Amino acid sequence: MVMKDRSHWVVQKCESFEEMERLHIRNWPRVSGPVRLAAAWEMVEEVWKLKNRNLDELRFQRLARCVKRGGS
């Protein structure tokens, strides 16, 4: 198993779950959109691995041949 480089992560000790939650709420607005998206996608992949699912199932499937815009 290949370990990810997490040496850039900031570690803070919290005395309670509530303190941890406040810390996350305070810090997330400082993070850019692309970084948030990457973090969310990483969590999705980790959950998929924990469920022993194939990561290829998460790829976009091109089942539609065309998309038509509705309107009047």
Terminal-residue alpha carbon distance, the chain: 55
Where are the domains positioned within the chain?
18-55
Length of the chain: 72
Residue 51 is predicted with a pLDDT of 94
pLDDT band at 22 (very low <50, low <70, confident <90, very high): very high
pLDDT band per the 50, 70, 90 thresholds, residue 19: very high
* Confidence (pLDDT) at 8: 81
pLDDT band at 62 (very low <50, low <70, confident <90, very high): low
pLDDT for 63 equals 65
